[in-house]
Amino acid sequence: MKKFSSLLLVSILGGILTLGSYKLLLEEETLEKESTSILPETTKPNFVSYTNNVNNLAEAPDFREAANKTVHAVVHVKNVAIYEGPRNIWEYYNGRQKGEKALQGAGSGVIITPDGYIVTNNHVIKDASEIQVTLNNNLTYKAEVIGTDPQADIALLKIDAKELDYIPFGDSESAKLGDWVLAVGNPFNLTSTVTAGIISAKGRDLTEGETRMPSFIQTDAAINPGNSGGALVNTKGELIGINTAITSRTGSYIGYGFAVPSNNARKIVEDLLEYGNVQQAILGITGSTLNPKAAQESELAISQGVYIASVSDGAKEAGLKEGDLITKIDDVKVRKLSDLTAYIGTKRPNDEVQVNFFRNGEEKIKTIQLTKFESYALSIAGVEIINADKEYLSHFDTDHGVRISRTLSQNFNIPINKFIITKIDGEEVNSVAEVREIMDNKSKGSTTNVTFRSLNGNEESYSFRE
């Protein structure tokens, strides 16, 4: 019995020692494996904790205040046409009645005063027989057109209402690349729609100098058909742009939307209210954006700016010359021509601006008084005209006439700097004002005779009828 007990005790002690050794060896091996990394110390990833992500999200902009401030001040604008008679065989056989109304187009508008002044795009209300404005509370009003600026695509409307929600103008010049913005409008007739994005670019020129359209603010906030004339606002709920255009192959949003800067829109609105038309100022230069390649070839130290091709008016009086390179205006950097034209578009005739420019590698500064730009759309002939100075007229060997600034119709594509207009209905003209007076006194439907003069001195007359 004693021998059996001794054997049992030895067996138990052996088992304990075996288990203890196994446990000790296993834990050491496991600990050794856990402390071994397959990556070198220098390449270990630096993981960001979940709490840091939460804190970063908490710092994201809050759009709720701006959205609630502005959504009630953006309206639905409807362009209504009144049927006057059949325009084609389809309308004739379908028996439409004279006086019948039809929706011609729709867009958005921005209330800018509590008594009912509204800014929208000119293309939204163009050729309208009647304009209807529907507020966010579904009340509908007839709107009166106070004035338009077709080249800037801005129109000012008025409805008979009071104590309306409105959006105050902000400073589009102080808006920076990367700033958060909201686009408020009525895309696809979906009223009161708000989308968010950032300012993707400023000074975007979509016209390449063809018109005096101001340079645009570009945004990636979703803008679609129906947003035209709506608001682009900052996170304070201030108006910094009027949504105007998109670039798309499909006709719908693909990431690129464009707005007329609020500083330009505000100046147009103030001009229409005070003068009844837009008071356009000019610096008195023609030029183009400096080509970096040309700058390199010419060994210029400057790679951005506006190259002056010719001078007149205030610029000529101040001493600017052909070949000068403008880099700043009133301490605002000028990188391209659209920067310059956009800034001038916020000014009025007789305002003074300070221009920084380089000549022969030396920087100079001049103060220039802006002059009034007078133009007239001689639509019947398909051209826009401006005043011509004596030097320009001398190239045509004449002392009278007006200059053709651009063509309005592809059907009459006359070379701009090779012809001038010297007579209207046989009467010599010396200014835009004289042409406007002749045309204003003509009866509707009458024929207009326009005389063109070429650089070689030959004159030809053409008859046009509305």
pLDDT tens per residue across span 185-220 = 998 877 889 999 999 999 887 764 444 565 899 999
Per-residue pLDDT for 369 more than 90?
Answer: yes
State the average pLDDT over residues 269-277. Answer: 93
Q: How confident is the model at residue 48 (pLDDT cuts 50, 70, 90)?
A: very low
Q: Is the pLDDT of residue 326 over 70?
A: yes
Exposed/middle/buried for residue 358 (C-beta within 10 Å: 0-12, 13-18, 19+): middle
Mean pLDDT confidence for 83-91 = 58
Per-residue model confidence (pLDDT) at position 7? 46
Higher pLDDT among residues 206 and 9, named by residue: 206
> Residue 67 — very low, low, confident or very high, per pLDDT cuts 50/70/90?
very high
Among 43-52, 133-142, 446-455, name the one with the lowest average pLDDT.
43-52
Average pLDDT, the chain: 82
3-11: average pLDDT: 46
Looking at residue 206, its pLDDT comes to 75
The closest of 430, 433, 434, 426 to 450, measured between CA atoms, is: 426
- pLDDT of residue 383 exceeding 60, the answer is yes
Over residues 58-87, mean pLDDT = 82
Strand residue runs (E) in 292-408: 306-311, 325-329, 332-333, 352-359, 362-369, 371-372, 375-378, 383-386, 402-407
Phi-psi region of 78 (alpha: psi -120 to 50; beta: other; left: phi over 0): beta
> Which is more confidently placed, 8 or 217?
217
- Which amino acids are annotated catalytic? 123, 153, 228
Q: Spell out the domains of the chain, with CATH numbers in brackets.
A: 72-158 (2.40.10.10), 180-274 (2.40.10.10), 281-372 (2.30.42.10), 375-465 (2.30.42.10)
Task: Residue 435: count other Cβ atoms within 10 Å of its Cβ.
Answer: 20
> Helical H runs in 237-301?
262-274, 292-297
pLDDT at residue 192, as a whole number: 82
For residue 151, CA distances in Å to 48, 154, 363, 408 come to 52, 8, 34, 11
- What is the predicted pLDDT for the residue at 42? 41
Distance CA 101, CA 87 (A): 14
Strand-pair partners of 428: 423
Cα 325 to chain center, whole Å? 25
Nearest to residue 111, comparing CAs of 65, 67, 156? 156
Q: Which of 54-63, 274-283, 334-343, 417-426 has the lowest mean pLDDT?
A: 54-63
- Whether the CB-CB separation of 255 and 247 falls below 8 Å is answered with no
- Give the tens place of pLDDT for each residue, 165-177: 999 999 999 999 9
H helix runs in 259-318, sequence order? 262-274, 292-297, 313-318
**Partners of 287 in beta bridges:** 308
Amino acid letter for position 330: D
Say how many C-beta atoms besides its own lie within 10 A of residue 124's C-beta.
24
- Torsion, Cα 204 198 255 62, to 10 degrees, reads -150
Please tell me the pTM assigned to this model: 0.73
Backbone angles phi, psi at 369, to 5 degrees: -90, 125
